[in-house]
Structure formats: C-alpha cells, structure tokens
Amino acid sequence: MVNLYTRRTLSATCIAFICLLCVPAWAAQEVDAADVVGEVTTVIGLGKIHNTLGEQSIARGQRIRAGDKIETAAGGHVHVRFVDGGLVSIRPLSRLHIEDYRNRDTQNQAAIKFRLDVGVVRSVTGQWGESNRDRFRLNTPVAAIGIKGTDFVVKAESASTLVSVKTGAIVMAPLEGSCAVALGPCAGERSVQLTSEMSGKMLEYLKQNDKSGPRLIPYIDLLARSAPATQVADVRHSELLSTAEVTAKTIDNQLKDAVVADEPPASKPLVWLHNALGWNVPDNSISARFDEASAVGRRPVVGNFFISLYRDETLKKDFTPPSAITSFNLLSASANYTAIGLNAEPATVSDAKLTVDFAKSALTTQMNLASPSMGPQNFTATAAINAQGLFVGNSSGQQLAGAFSTDARQAGYLFEKTVSGGTVSGLTLWGR
C-alpha cells in the first residue's frame, strides 16, 4: 500500500503529531480521541456498556475504548467496528469485555484481547490482528482461543465453549496455567487447531472432560442457535422480536464476505473509504465512511492513516492495462486549503485532465484549484506506473499517489501541493 507523506508549517504543539502520522491536518481531533479503539455501528434491541463512567445504555455511534464491557439483552444485537477494520458482532444475552486493543509502536507491544463471559460473538480480524497474530486472544470462562487471522464464531457458557471458523484458523486450549495469562495461540498437547478447510467441523471444550481437552465435533450454526438462558439485562424475554433476529442475521452476513453468491459479483468501482470515526476527514470529502460502503472483495492500495483507496479484485486480481495512450475523465474530486489559524477551506477543482501512456507505464495529470483564501493554483504532475497499477509522483513542493483498477478503466489518486501560506490537498476518481 502506497502512503502519501506530507509536510506542514505548524505550531510546535502539533508538529510532532502530524509528522508521526504523515498525513494532512485536515481537522482537529477531540481531546479524548486518542484512546478510542472503535465505534458501535449497529444496535438492535437493548444493551448496556460498562466503563469508567459507569453503566449506560448503548447506542449507535458510541465510541469504544479498551476496558469497556458490552452486555446485550434478550433480542439485543450490538456491532462494533474497530479502528483497524476489525469487526465484532455481539449476539443476544451476551457479555463481552474488551480488555485490550492496541497496535505495536515505539511505546509498547501490540495486544488485542477479548473476554467473552457468556453468549455468542462473531469476530473478523482487522489489520492489527493480522499483523500481530501472536498477540491476539479471546478467552472464555474455560477456554483460550488464539487467533491466526480469521472470521470465527464463539459460544461461551460457564463450563463449555464452542467455536466455528468461517475463514482462516484458530487454536483452542483449556484456560489454565501460563496459557491463561498469555496472548496468542497456546502451545502444548491440549491445544487443537481448527481451520476453514476442515469442512463440516467445529471445536468444543467441556470443562467436565478436562483431561481430554478440546475435540472436533460436527458443525452447527452458532448464530442460528439460541443463546444461553442467562439474563444479563433487566428486560423481558417477550421483547425478543423475530424481525430483529432476521435483521441482525443480514447484518452479520455483511460483516465480510460471509455469503457466497451463486453468480460472480459485478465489477465494483474504486472507492475512497475513511475511518469509521471520521478523524481528520473534511466535510466535503468524496470518501465514504467505511461501515457505510461495501468493501467486500476490495483491499486498500493507496492512502494514509485516515483515508484509503480500495480496489475491487474479485473478478480480476492482476493489473492488465492496454498498450495505448488513453484519456480519463474526472468522475469526482474534493480538495481543501489548509493554513495556520485556518480551518480546512474547501477548494474548487476545474479543467482536470489525466492522460496515460500504458505502453510506457507513465501518466500526466493537471487541474486548476481555487479557494477564497488561497486564490487560483495549478497542479501538474507526472508519475511512473508499476506492475501492480500503482503510481507515485514527487516534485518540488507537491506529491501524488494513486492506483488504477485492475482492468485499467478507472483511477484514483490523492494529491498535495505546498502553496503560499499553507497547502492544498485532496482526492480524485477518474474513469474512461
């Protein structure tokens, strides 16, 4: 994935932060946003969250921090999307504790740790979990589940645990000894691996059969089965609505590529997606919020910490351009001028051109930019295209980084130019 590095003339209090992330300072973050690790994207029925502020009803858009505990009532469903793209669906009558969620940096090691006290949870690994599989763990009252980058479902009761895997692999072991306090998969004779290739199988661990450890059993759909009859919120079972179950099941299937279509999916365009919390994203950005735009079959190919260009690779994985000179039309764009003491000011984009010589793996682009404080500016750049259809261009005071769709019919890039008193930066999407 290509990253666009930027420069800013900033006050001493914010230079260190911007240089660390290497992204445009498009908007100010809230003071307490640093410890936010996720956001509630869906709530059906009733649920509660326990944190340092006490106990409160959970709501869509609520921010999640390490240490939070989420409980669902009868008929309650809560979905959380984490900052690295990880997903958790918490089913009715469940209690999940987010003990830790952090990436590896200069200050500490990565650690992703959940504890499911009771109920059913589906988890889809995000980028941090994929990069730190030896530091990702989900514990139940009796079992330790090490994650190897996967989409899996867990059902926990006081003396038993069931696990099924949709993609990837997990390692299950009794929660005992050094395994109880470690992170990642446990080793030893009583550890059993389950992969998505083991069709028709799932893992079960019963505390009463403690000497035998986890065992493989025939697969059952844990999401379709009733949760344990353990009341975790003060509501009546009559509040369970069948429509809520159907809706939650649909949303669960949308968490990732869990539903396999009978026909190949139609080719999807390139799309700019930004972080679920909207950090450092201008109001006029052409990017869509990650949990409000389908990314199934796509992967990020260019971007920064806040916004990335996702490319569809479901029908064609390899970049196959024509051997010709081709002109692209601008489909959409957004730009902003940023200066000291000035909030991100929208800039207009006009007379935009993108010409590509695929035979020489080279492109030329230009556009006119203008805003009230900045005045008129021209952006002109060239770049070389690599074998994967990615490109980067750097010249004095300006940069761009982008990618083509695998069929070479679409393109997108982010750009930045240093101008008098500040910078102008933005996003583009092109087609032919």
pLDDT recorded at residue 193: 93
pLDDT recorded at residue 266: 45
The pTM score is 0.51
Closest residue by Cα to residue 395 from 424, 370, 421, 416: 416
d(CA 135, CA 214): 21
Q: Find which of 178-182, 293-297, 358-362 is predicted with most confidence, using mean pLDDT.
A: 358-362
pLDDT recorded at residue 170: 93
If pLDDT is split at 50, 70 and 90, which confidence band does 52 have?
confident
d(CA 221, CA 223): 5
| Secondary structure (3-state) at 371 | strand
pLDDT recorded at residue 276: 64
If pLDDT is split at 50, 70 and 90, which confidence band does 291 have?
low
Domain 263-432 fold is: Porin (2.40.160)
pLDDT recorded at residue 99: 93
pLDDT recorded at residue 109: 81
Over residues 205-259, the pLDDT tens digits come to: 998 766 778 999 998 888 874 433 333 333 333 333 333 444 444 445 544 433 3
pLDDT recorded at residue 149: 72
Token readout for 331 is 């489909």
d(CA 280, CA 75): 36
- Mean pLDDT, residues 285-314: 78
d(CA 205, CA 186): 15
Can you give the length of the chain in residues? Answer: 432
| Alpha carbon distances (Å) from 316 to 104, 268, 297, 319 | 33, 11, 10, 8
Domain 30-240 has CATH 3.40.50.10800: no
270: CB partners within 8 A, 6+ apart = 309, 310, 311, 312, 403, 405, 410, 411, 412, 429
246: CB partners within 8 A, 6+ apart = none
Please give the distance of CA 396 from its chain centroid, rounded to a whole number: 34
DSSP structure class, residue 186: P
Closest residue by Cα to residue 268 from 291, 287, 296: 296
pLDDT recorded at residue 257: 38
pLDDT recorded at residue 299: 81
Choose the weakest-confidence range: 84-88, 120-124, 288-292, 338-342: 288-292
So where are the chain's domains?
30-240, 263-432
pLDDT recorded at residue 189: 82
Do 415 and 426 meet the contact criterion of CB atoms below 8 Å apart? yes
Strand partners, 415: 400, 426
d(CA 273, CA 286): 9
The DSSP element (H or E) to which 74 belongs, if any, is none
